[in-house]
Each structure stands twice: as C-alpha cells, then as structure tokens.
Amino acid sequence: MKLWSVWAPLYRYLRRPWPLSAILRQEDEALLELLPTFAKHACIVDLGCGSGHIGQLLSASAPIIGIDASLAMLNTLSDTLYDPINANARCLPLKTQSVDLVLAIGLCEYLDSLSLFFESLARVMKPGGVAVVSTSPENIYTHMRRVMGHRIYVHSKRDFGDALEPAGLRCLREKELFSQHLFVLQKRG
C-alpha cells in the first residue's frame, strides 16, 4: 500500500489529462449504463473506493461505505459522501448478508486471488444483492501501470467465471471496453 500513499495526493489530478480523461469518461458511461436501480435506503459499499470517484457518479441519499486498504487514499474522501473503513477487500469487516449493492471498480487487478475476494464479497451481500465489478485486460494501459510500479494481475474471463460459481454468485450482464471489463453479479437467493 506504500505506492498508494505516494499516489493519494496526486490521484485526482493524474486522471485529468487526455487521453486518460477520455478513457475514464467511457468507463463512467458504461458503469452508469449497467448500474441497477437501488432503493433510497439501500446499503451501498464501494470497495477499493480510492478518492471516491464512483460515489460522485451515484446519487445515493445516504453515505456510501467506502472500503480501501490505503489509509492515504481514504483520507482524500469527502465525509458527506462516504463512511470510510480501512480494510482489505479479501476480508471485509461487514455483517453477513447486510449489503444491497457493491461497486468494485479498478480493484480486481490488484488482487491475486479472485476466489478469496468473491467469497468475502458473497458473504456480505444480501441474497439477490448486486455487485458491479471490473477487471483489467492486458493492454498498453495495464503495461503503463506496471511501469509506474503497480503490481497488476490480469484475470481472464474464464478465471473470473470459474471463481464466481463456488462463491454463489452469477453474472447477469457484462460489457467489454478497451480499458476495462465490467460485470454485473448477483448473489443467488
């Protein structure tokens, strides 16, 4: 997490110049297209929330639970949008079957094991609850992140599918972009 401590104060600014801004805009549009409707008092969790970009896209009426392994990234969050928790996504400190909607955007590529993550995710989701999760394909963008010092794991679509079933999750929808693959997952009832 040391690298994220260095990135935290710069993170928002590094995303502004073109072409990154254009790539991120496309990712946001795809996420909004896939996002299910959620109830006013839904319990929403943003995993690997970083500086809270995803929370700014949602029009949630209550603060979103923002979980991130980097305290430095959590310190950049706005307190009106987020309730921050410093924790690892592989071992979520949340009640079993308590969450309606999970967003995990830009997280899976930092996780070596999808199975552990999906187990942890499925435990906290309510039956019928939904998660929107992204993975990063192997491309120049992924390569650049490695050059900048990140350890990136590319999970194939097959690995992703294989890890879903044992956790009791199923894929409802998916969308492939150049920079990101997005999946809408549901916990079986």
Ligand X SMILES: C[S@@+](CC[C@H](N)C(=O)[O-])C[C@H]1O[C@@H](n2cnc3c(N)ncnc32)[C@H](O)[C@@H]1O
Q: Which is nearer to ligand X, 32 or 127 (CB)?
A: 32
Q: Which is nearer to ligand X, 54 or 185 (CB)?
A: 54
Q: The tokens 């299910």 sit on which residue?
A: 36
CA quadruple 86, 189, 115, 180: dihedral, nearest 10: -80
Q: Which is nearer to ligand X, 147 or 189 (CB)?
A: 147
CA distance 114 to 119: 8
Residue 74: CB minimum distance to ligand X, A: 8
Strand segments (E) across 136-177: 169-176
How many whole angstroms from its chain centre is CA 73?
A: 14
Residue 20: CB minimum distance to ligand X, A: 12
Q: How many CB atoms lie within 10 A of CB 164?
A: 19
Contact 35, 99 (CB under 8 A): no
**Residues at the interface with ligand X (CB under 6 A):** 4, 48-50, 53-54, 68-70, 73, 88-90, 105-107, 110-111
Q: Which is nearer to ligand X, 29 or 188 (CB)?
A: 29
Q: The tokens 């990135």 sit on which residue?
A: 7
Residue nearest ligand X, CB atom distance? 50
Residue 126: CB minimum distance to ligand X, A: 21
Q: Which is nearer to ligand X, 62 or 148 (CB)?
A: 148
Residue 189: CB minimum distance to ligand X, A: 27
Residue 107: CB minimum distance to ligand X, A: 5
Q: Which is nearer to ligand X, 40 or 59 (CB)?
A: 59
Residue 40: CB minimum distance to ligand X, A: 23
All residues at 6 or more sequence positions from 144 whose CB lies less than 8 Å from its CB, including other chains: none
Contact 170, 122 (CB under 8 A): no
Contact 77, 58 (CB under 8 A): no
Q: The tokens 């920079």 sit on which residue?
A: 179
